[in-house]
Amino acid sequence: MPRLAWTLAALVLLRVAWTYARRKKRTQYVDAGAERVLILGASTPDGLGAEFLRQYVERGAKHIMIVGRRQHALEDVRKRYPDVQVHVHAAELTCTKSVLALRDAVVRSMGGLDTLHIVFGATSILPILGVAGVDPCGVNAQTDEGVLTHATQDGLDRIGETVQRSCDANVKGTALVLGALIPLMQTTSKRPAVVTMGSVAGLIPAPTRAVYCASKSAQHLLVRSVDLECESQAGMPVPGTQPRARVHFLLVAPGPIKNSFVATYSVDASTGPRDNRDKALHVRDVVRATLRRVDAEQWGVLVMPSYIRLAWILTCLDATYVCPTNPRRAWLGRAAHRLYRY
């Protein structure tokens, strides 16, 4: 019986390897020079969006548009590549009028869209009680209320505002962008792809990240559900054009990254991250791994670093984070407390 099990496992692995070996590269359908790329969230010089732009320029892409809220910051990023035509568009991606204007700009500038990168978003780096200003561990928002035991109305209002702003950026904005751009991609691209920059916080609970985890997990399920919807929509007729193309999705869920995103785009605190970033990922490595997956048409979920996938699997299996009666099952909780220093 063990020999039979090993034989079956080997056959499965050979089948998977054979399937991937026969799979065509996306670059066989979408030429690097002709690829029309839209990067949403590229105004931070050390951010993922700016790095996506850099690597696309190195690949020879000639049709790129970068989007952010700050026009001057986008211009600063574009100035790094004076010999390449990079379209710049300032937009508030949680506003329907602004998203529609973005779609019109994409059509005018590039005539369609092949690859969409959703990089924008917001983070939250305080525990729920900290947002309200009553965290007993001392991780509190800066308020004038002094040391309190119970939340005031102002404290609860801050919680509500934090949740609203996080969900607007991470969920509402993503939904609006997908609703506006998916039909364009289905009707103008042979191999459309959507790459969403999620977070490992959307897969695994974490202290001091309650609101962020909630909004990112909602974003993850939104994107993966839309992926299934696009599967059903593929091949549906469009008057006057070819049938709709299948839009494929890659959800990237990285761990902590060495950049200024947390300190810059936190909705509940102006201080930097408390978590341990000694082993944080480098921006260039995250972008390189993402583009490699897109080129190979390996869709689904990319978790980085890879060992975090184990924690994700244990979470899916309902492995208790803190279980005093079973110390062997408590290591995930201890690891989370060490990582976020809470």
DSSP letter (8 states) at residue 170: I
pTM: 0.86
DSSP bridge partners of 39: 66, 117
Widest pairwise Cα distance in the chain: 70
What is d(CA 103, CA 91) in angstroms, rounded to the nearest whole number? 11
CA 316 to chain centre: 20
Taking CA atoms, 85 is separated from 82, 88, 179, 313, in Å, by 8, 10, 27, 43
Do residues 117 and 197 touch, judged by C-beta distance below 8 A? Answer: yes
Amino acid identity, residue 132?
A: A
Per-residue model confidence as pLDDT tens digits over 110-119: 999 999 999 9
Tokens (6 digits) for 27: 């670059």
The pLDDT value given to residue 260:
66
pLDDT of residue 51: 97
- The total number of residues written for the chain in this structure: 342
pLDDT at position 16 is 47
Q: Residue with structure tokens 């993922």?
A: 48
Going from the first residue of the chain to its last (342 residues), give the mean pLDDT of each consecutive group of 10, the final group possibly shorter: 57 53 72 94 93 96 96 95 94 98 98 97 88 85 70 92 95 98 97 96 89 96 98 91 94 87 55 62 95 96 88 67 52 72 80
The predicted pLDDT at position 328 comes to 46
Evaluated on CA atoms 37, 39, 43, 48, the torsion sign reads: negative
Residue-level pLDDT at 124:
86
- DSSP string of 254-316? E--BSSSHHHHSBSS-SS---S--TTPBPHHHHHHHHHHHHHTT--EEEEESTTHHHHHHHHH
Q: Would you call 204 exposed, middle or buried from its count of C-beta atoms within 10 A (0-12, 13-18, 19+)? A: buried
Q: Dihedral through CA 282, CA 196, CA 216, CA 159, nearest 10?
A: 90
Burial class (CB in 10 A: 0-12, 13-18, 19+), 12: exposed
